[in-house]
């Protein structure tokens, strides 16, 4: 399924809390921001199946990568993600869709390079 049929299938399943789409391809599991996927990739990406994820489900997807040192905290009334880096540094970002996806992609890339 690609293009308009894919966009229609997404529209049927989509709820306001859905921020991500997850699917599998030959390279493994892929995740993307849902609005970006619809606007930029749906016409060119062939999917047999997909799953729409909310923030908590994407957090669980991130944790499923098996990276250690990930945690969530609230600072100054803002929820953040801390990632204790190998070597001692800490990377922090807001617990938002863009931050979750950035960490997910970085950890996936590191795992692919290892």
Segment 30-42, tens digit of pLDDT = 999 999 999 999 9
- Examine the pLDDT at 28 and tell me if it is beyond 90: no
pLDDT digits 0-9 by tens, 58-103: 999 999 999 999 999 999 999 999 999 878 899 999 999 999 999 9
The average pLDDT across 98-112 equals: 91
**Statement to judge: residues 60 and 109 lie in one domain:** yes
Confidence of residue 26 (pLDDT cuts 50, 70, 90): confident
**Statement to judge: residues 68 and 113 lie in one domain:** yes
**Statement to judge: residues 31 and 64 lie in one domain:** no
Question: Which domain covers residue 18, as residue numbers?
Answer: 1-53
| Long-range contacts of 66-73, Cβ-Cβ distance < 8 Å, separation of 24 or more | 67/107, 70/103
Is the pTM value of this prediction over 0.85? yes
- Examine the pLDDT at 15 and tell me if it is beyond 80: yes
- Examine the pLDDT at 114 and tell me if it is beyond 60: no
**Statement to judge: residues 12 and 62 lie in one domain:** no
**Statement to judge: residues 3 and 30 lie in one domain:** yes
Maximum CA pair distance of the chain?
47
**Statement to judge: residues 61 and 113 lie in one domain:** yes
**Statement to judge: residues 80 and 63 lie in one domain:** yes
**Statement to judge: residues 72 and 27 lie in one domain:** no
pLDDT attached to residue 25: 84
**Statement to judge: residues 44 and 60 lie in one domain:** no
**Statement to judge: residues 24 and 78 lie in one domain:** no
From the list 29, 38, 27, the residue with the least C-alpha distance to 5 is 38
Domains in the chain: how many in total?
2
pLDDT attached to residue 74: 97
């Amino acid at each position: 399924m690609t293009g308009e049929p894919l966009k229609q299938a997404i529209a049927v399943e989509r709820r306001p809390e859905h921020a991500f789409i997850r699917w599998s391809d030959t390279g493994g599991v892929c995740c993307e921001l849902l609005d970006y996927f619809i606007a930029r990739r749906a016409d060119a990406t062939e999917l047999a199946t997909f799953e729409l994820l909310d923030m908590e489900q994407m957090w669980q997807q991130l944790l499923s990568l098996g990276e250690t040192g990930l945690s969530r905290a609230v600072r100054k009334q803002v929820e953040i993600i801390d990632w204790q880096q190998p070597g001692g540094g800490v990377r922090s970002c807001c617990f938002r869709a863009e931050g979750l996806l950035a960490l997910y992609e970085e950890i996936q890339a590191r795992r692919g390079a290892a």
